[in-house]
Homo-oligomer: A and B are copies of this chain.
Amino acid sequence: MSISNIVKERLARRIAGEISLSNDPGKTMRKWREIFHVSQVTLAEKLGVSPSVISDYESGRRKSPGAKTVKRFVNILLTIDEENGGQIISAFGRLMGVEIPTDIILDIRDFASPVKMDHFCEAINAQPVACEELLEQDVYGYTIIDGGLAMRELSGEAFTKLFEASVQRTLIFTNISTGRLPLVAIRGSQEKPSLIVLHGVRKIDSMVTELARKERILLAVSFIEDIESLIQKLRKLNPLT
């Protein structure tokens, strides 16, 4: 069994588990479909059903998909990703050594080609607040984290793993008040993200900007309205085709 197959199976189990245990399985299915950047139409095609089926699930008209449906759904998503080179599977693979609950990950993506940090920040209405001199450099992907959940559930070890998986990438923390915790956690990490974006901060802390400067990480604060728009804007940035 190849390493990527192991990652694939673990990811499959996690997605299936998350759907089955969700209070709103349809919403969770949508989340995963969107993480895999598959349209309802394409998904329906591959499943051999009409698009309305997918919509009915996601909108909650069908509330409790059967095990068979969940299985087919998960397998198709993973197959589609494999056909496209397995980018999403491998992005998750990097996070797998330590068990990071998938529900803290709101989105994850590798770019088709590098994106300049200033372009990235612009896209999500983010103001740099430390290490602005790095704005010309590139990032190769991003991970959006539910900061509140992460604060509560992630161990130090898991944080380290998250940073290691984010080299040359952007880490976006939503749902946080000051941004202290992630920046304290990062202190002294060997491997770390190139760009950290905070979203939903109430007040920007001088301690936080100082830490970012010490670690030489470009820190930015996004003023985009809500998390939904944040995800949408980034999806449109540098698509595969």
Contact = CB atoms under 8 A, between A and B. Distances in A.
Most buried by B among A64, A66, A96, A97: A66
A31 interface: no
A65 B63 contact: no
A168 interface: no
Nearest to A15: B17
Contact of A70 (B10, B67, B98, B101): B67
Interface in A39-71: 63-71
Q: Give the interface centre of A13, A64, A67, A98 by most chain B CB atoms within 10 Å.
A: A67
Dominant secondary structure of chain A at its interface with chain B = helix
Interface stretch (A20-28, A112-120, A136-144): A20-28
A67 B64 contact: yes
A10 to B, nearest CB: 6
A63 B68 contact: yes
Given A66-B64, A66-B65, A67-B65, A13 B18 contact: yes
Contact of A9 (B15, B19, B101): B101
A99 interface: yes
A205 interface: no
A20 B71 contact: yes
Interface of A: 1, 6, 9-10, 12-22, 25, 63-71, 74, 96-99, 101, 152-153
11 contacts: A1-B152, A12-B17, A15-B17, A16-B16, A16-B21, A20-B20, A20-B67, A20-B74, A25-B67, A63-B68, A65-B67
